[in-house]
Chains A and B, each alone.
Chain A
Amino acid sequence: MSVTATSEIEADPLPPRQRSRAWAKFRRNPSALLGGVIVVFFLVVALLAPLLPVPGPAETDWSAVRKPPNAAHPFGTDEIGRDVLSRMIWGAQASLLAGVVSVLIAVLLGVPLGMVAGYMRGWTDAVISRFTEALLAAPFLILAIALAAFLGPSLTNAMIAIGLSAMPIFVRLSRAQTLSVMTEDYVESARAIGIGHVGLIWRYILPNIFPPIIVQATLTIATAIIAEASLSFLGLGQQPPAPSWGAMLNTAKNFLEQAPWMALYPGIAIFLVVLGFNLLGDGLRDALDPRDT
């Protein structure tokens, strides 16, 4: 950089700005794209379930009980002759819904609470923090089970229970991030130009605390899918005969030796979806950060 202001005047003209940097950056990241493709694939499959040429998820075929994969049933059949492929496709609805909706509940409740605590400090912070710590004192799954049992068995209640159980992580994360962002000079510079509370929170704090929250959210989707599986196993989640991957996995464990395919495919599906969300989350975090190219 030269001493005078001349360097800027003489520099080459800039290329026109790209319309979306975030998307351009996301597209250049192969693992993020892979994650996106996996997630979109499962979403499409889940949405198109009624249109796909498979038997109904609750249709039983007593002549084909616990049959290994074959032409009629590509993924085999389960212990009462239901098509595993069909149940997986329909189960994707429950599992994805449980993962995404419960995390949305957790984020939408937890992040504002955490930001308010970090922004207001003092008594507000003390009350929110103690409440959060009380929730955190109970193990995640135990809390979800207790809440689900209290709310009554259904997929909706399971999602609410998982969402509430996952919320404290987001409260703590966003509170800690808010506290650290609040000490930044640019927050003081925002106050110096006369910004209001809403503008400060919306334009300065939220964008700067968001990346770790996105990463935490994708990780929590994975946890939530597994939690839904556990609740379903206990009869607190998806109600039989409607399928979910977790419920399938939990039934399959009784037949691991006789019918390993019953566990294999739902297991692979959970693995892939969780992987997909994690890759997607990492990619989003990188793409949304204007600092590294």
Chain B
Amino acid sequence: MQFLKNILDNLRPNFEEGGKLEKYYKGFEALETFAFTPGHTSHKGAHIRDAIDLKRTMFLVVIAMVPALLFGMWNTGHQYYLSIGELTGLGEGLMEKFIFGAIRVLPIVVVSYAVGLGIEFAIAIKNNHSVNEGYLVSGMLIPLVLPSEIPLWMVAVATAFAVIIGKEVFGGTGMNILNPALTARAFLFFAYPTKMSGNAVWIPQESGMAGVDGYTGETLLSQAYNAPVGAEFGGVAYDAAGQQYGSLADTMWASFWGWIPGSIGETSVFAILIGAAILIFTGIGSWRIMLSFLVGGLTMSMIFNAWGANAFMSVHPLQQLMMGSFMFGMVFMATDPVSAAQTTTGKWIYGFLAGFLGIMIRVFNPAYPEGIMMAILFMNVMAPLIDHYVVEANINRRLKRVKVAA
């Protein structure tokens, strides 16, 4: 580390007042504080003393996402080999699958970071404020919620949209109303629907590839939607090679571990739960939001179960929660500290409604299989309102106490 510090110390005079590159000091500062904890402290306002600063907080979130990313790479390769009928066993060709997936996934990560950080640095230098750290997380979230077949230029356009319209116009990190990563996904979902939904986007395809008999890219969600009325979902669900899982337990087993078609990081409940454990253990992600989100989703699934008008409604609640982006949204999207509700009571309400509405949109509207995305964005918009009423209620409660005493 001393080596790195020497380099930075040598470069520093260039960026300080009077140096050649004075204009770019904020860019230099961002890189320096990324590598080392800054030596200066704040002078104004109220403070909380803590060992980690914002950069290191964000970095912990990125670490929490690594299991989902690594699994996503393997799964991308696995789905591809399933679809061509080679190496279909789970244990076979671990490295081939992983490398195949990495070649597909890493460029998306690189584009997302390059475009997003490029815009953040440019704006920071232009407005002469420090580069915000928020994008370290958004830049990793964006690739994880996209299908592996997404064209790179679309990733770039969506990232630019999310950073500029979703975040910078409101004043940058900490001021955004919507979750930037979800803004990027929603933008892509509406702008280029053929690349974001349907059966052709979840599994990598070589041009001219025919696929094996029964090859299909249908996600469990669209299978559940298309299942015949009265059918037992566990009995009719099938994997990318068209092989039926056979029973509900097997379907749930596959979706828990995540070897099913879907967006890069969303399929494996197991990998996401590792991330959740890291977030909760370090106190960065709000367990209240996660728990109430889960309860909200369960409640809605059970109501649908009792109703049971079609096969999608009759899907087992646990299976319902493990399909699609429910778990990913719960752990990484809904808990975004900026766009979520801030008050403790507000967090319970916010999480519950997001999970509740997510399942509702997903089941009711076939055009929006990713109801979770819509629900979280919707609750992002509602979060300030929830907080407002929680604060008002608190003030009223305390006012009453004063009156009684007097």
Same assembly: no
